[in-house]
Structure 1
Amino acid sequence: MADKLDKLREAQKQRIEKEARPGETYAQAAHRLQVAADKQPPTPKSNMRKAPSGDAQMDFFVPALYDVGTRDSRSIMDVAVFRLSKKERRAGDVIRYDLPDGYVEVKSGPDGMASIWDYDIVLMLVSHLTEAVNAYRAGKGEKPSRTFRPHVSDILRFCRKGHGGKQAVEIEHALDRLRGTTIKSVRERVNTNGQKLREVEAEGLIGGYRVVSYTDSGRIAELEIEAPKWLYREIIDGKRPDVLTVHPDYFLIEPGLGKFIYRLARRAAGKDSAKWSYQTIYERSGSTGTFKKFCFMLRKLIETNDLPEYILSEEKGLKGPQLVMIHRDSIEVIDSSGS
């Protein structure tokens, strides 16, 4: 330890001597450099956590459970059907989103509302179903059922989480919240005869689950997760499943708001760009905090600007600030064209 401190002191001394101005004493140079360092704004904290040890993200079209292309249901990508906070359980809570053709209600049960981190399990389910149905349509497999049987280690790898701590136990709690969080969708549409219809659907974020674990250790031996009917129908029965590929680094985004903004950008901007007002994003986020606090957090995301695929910025709008989301590849295309 003493040797390390001596080396650090020597390195600092050499740096000060190197940056000293003509006629400036060592003490004066050290003071000037310290004052300058104190004036530097602190480096924004990254929104991305480090990948766990042993994390090997291969080509994500390789048909291994944790390497398949992460996909998300576009039909609910621009509203939060989960809570963005880790602290607030929001048990028995209701969030309502008014949409142009109806509304969506998110209702939580006694175990609390599913979080955006719990929803990573749904992403894995969507990915598995999408890859399986693609193989089925290509004549390379059977039609997938609604029941998904992953191993706990597969979930942890897919979601890029470590195997330590109580990860396996937390998965069961996450499944409780996903099962108890109901999405009620009310939409109006016009049929072929020109008659207006009101269509109501309500299901959980998962249809159900089954866990078999060892009583002595609590380790999970078997796990089954049932896809909700609406999700299964959208992916299996649709000629062109309404899903989007999501960057694998999505799982490394730390803030719940950061994960939500990435999903919004993926849905709204795609490979190009999009603008959404802060007010609309706030309303679609289901946040329980004040709009002022929400804007502060959003600007912190913009300041750090390290979300996968997208560059974020703020600009003035007619009714307040707007978030500009631009896909990084679209900027590279513009730069390479010389325009």
Structure 2
Amino acid sequence: MDAPLPLRSERASLHLFRTLPGDMAPRDMQDLMAFPFFSLAKSPRIVPIDFEAGGVTIRVEASAEHGLATIWDADILIWAASHIVEARDAGRRISRRMVASPHEILRFIGRGTSIRDYNRLRAALNRLQATSIMTSLRQSAEKRLHRFSWINEWAARTDSGGQSDGVELVLPDWLYAALLNDALVLTIDRAYFSLTGGLERWLYRVVRKHGGHQRRGWRFEFRHLYEKSASLSSFTRFSLELRQMARRQPLPGYRLSVERNRDGIEILVFARARLSTPSCGLPVNPLVPSCVDKHVPSRHRDTCYHASKTPNQDVKTGGYGTLNLDSNLKESNFVDVAGAPGLWISQEGTP
């Protein structure tokens, strides 16, 4: 028997989509890959993200208690997207109301399954639910804005005997609509989950979205990438890390290099690595349609368009050596019952 649902919950009106365990290709959403929606920092970020370019407006706000959802928290959204698209393609009935065991979620995104990992999952769910996004992306009118949270609500389910029956969450309409559009979803390399740095993860998603399988690759000025990332680190620090990545080559399936144009401006060049295939074993879609209202020029010998400077302030940040799994861990008061994780404090709300 399912746990009683709150009277004000929207879950009662939605079909319950129970995911199935098993390997499948990870899918990511192009909107989330192309624009700055997540914090790249290890420490909690409260400073909002403000971004405007090409007719697209984005503002992401955090709660003081939880901070902004991080790029590591976005792994949960990739898990959700992967299961929804896989089930839809298989002819199964899908819904934005999903339920799965925490163990299945953690294994899919390459995490451990210790009590500490379950606590981290709970903290990530809280940040996803508490983060507020307002954007003009995919709105019928250019100046029309849509406000939502990455997760409308989530809850731990228990059966009649008080045993864990998984974790249930409800995705927002804005996100779910993107998953039903094949042109807005891309397969990513499973090795992405092993990338430890926030900037590495963000850059892979940008490269995968813009570069795809283009033989001659893509180019971005360092300054444009900096503005596009909404990073709080200084531009000097950001540029140093780009150069270091070009030396280390951490991005699966792609090669990075740094060039200078006639004015001495540094440019990051990325192209598909030879004889590289996605670790998931499935081909990726080489077609990468633009989600921006206005066309973005793409010329192999020139840089891409320039974005307007965002008002994000510069602060010093630490290096990127490990996964951001402990952010706001103080909020994770997990209760272990008979060795089985399951009794979490449910979180719900509306944007």
Report the TM-score when normalising by structure 2: 0.67
User: For the structure 1 residues 113 and 268, does the alpha-carbon distance in structure 2 shift closer, same or farther, using more than 3 Å as the test?
Assistant: same
CA shift for structure 1 position 113: 0.6
The partner residue of 1:247 within 168, 182, 189 is 189
* Paired position in structure 1 for 2:336: none
Identity %: 27
* Paired position in structure 2 for 1:227: 171
Residue 71 of structure 2 corresponds to residue 129 of structure 1: no
Higher relative contact order (CA 8 A, sep 6+): 2
The answer (yes or no) to whether the contact 2:30–2:186 under 8 Å persists in 1 is yes
The answer (yes or no) to whether the contact 2:157–2:165 under 8 Å persists in 1 is yes
Residue 231 of structure 2 corresponds to residue 287 of structure 1: yes
Q: Over aligned residues, Cα RMSD in angstroms?
A: 2.5
* Paired position in structure 2 for 1:78: 34
The partner residue of 1:324 within 254, 264, 269 is 269
Gaps of 5+ in 1: 1-62, 333-339
Gaps of 5+ in 2: 1-18, 278-351
* Paired position in structure 1 for 2:53: 99
User: For the structure 1 residues 278 and 330, does the alpha-carbon distance in structure 2 shift closer, same or farther, using more than 3 Å as the test?
Assistant: farther
Q: Deviations over 1:285-329 (max 9, x none)?
A: 121111001111111111111321111110113562111111114
The answer (yes or no) to whether the contact 1:107–1:113 under 8 Å persists in 2 is yes
Alpha-carbon distance in structure 2 between the residues aligned to 1:325 and 1:66? 32
The answer (yes or no) to whether the contact 1:73–1:244 under 8 Å persists in 2 is yes
Alpha-carbon distance in structure 2 between the residues aligned to 1:226 and 1:188? 20
* Paired position in structure 1 for 2:259: 315
Secondary structure of 1:149 counterpart: strand
Alpha-carbon distance in structure 1 between the residues aligned to 2:124 and 2:219? 33
CA shift for structure 1 position 94: 1.0
Secondary structure of 2:260 counterpart: strand
Alpha-carbon distance in structure 2 between the residues aligned to 1:174 and 1:327? 32
* Larger CA Rg, structure 1 vs 2: 1
Residue 260 of structure 2 corresponds to residue 260 of structure 1: no
User: For the structure 1 residues 318 and 153, does the alpha-carbon distance in structure 2 shift closer, same or farther, using more than 3 Å as the test?
Assistant: farther
CA shift for structure 1 position 153: 0.9
* Paired position in structure 2 for 1:116: 71
* Paired position in structure 2 for 1:204: 149
Residue 220 of structure 2 corresponds to residue 270 of structure 1: no
CA shift for structure 1 position 197: 5.0
The answer (yes or no) to whether the contact 1:269–1:327 under 8 Å persists in 2 is yes
Report the TM-score when normalising by structure 1: 0.69
Residue 240 of structure 2 corresponds to residue 296 of structure 1: yes
* Paired position in structure 1 for 2:305: none
User: For the structure 1 residues 249 and 94, does the alpha-carbon distance in structure 2 shift closer, same or farther, using more than 3 Å as the test?
Assistant: same
User: For the structure 1 residues 220 and 321, does the alpha-carbon distance in structure 2 shift closer, same or farther, using more than 3 Å as the test?
Assistant: farther
Alpha-carbon distance in structure 2 between the residues aligned to 1:330 and 1:269? 16
The answer (yes or no) to whether the contact 1:207–1:229 under 8 Å persists in 2 is no
Which protein has the bigger helix share? 1
Q: Deviations over 1:136-187 (max 9, x none)?
A: 2xxxx22x01111111111111011122351111111101100111221125
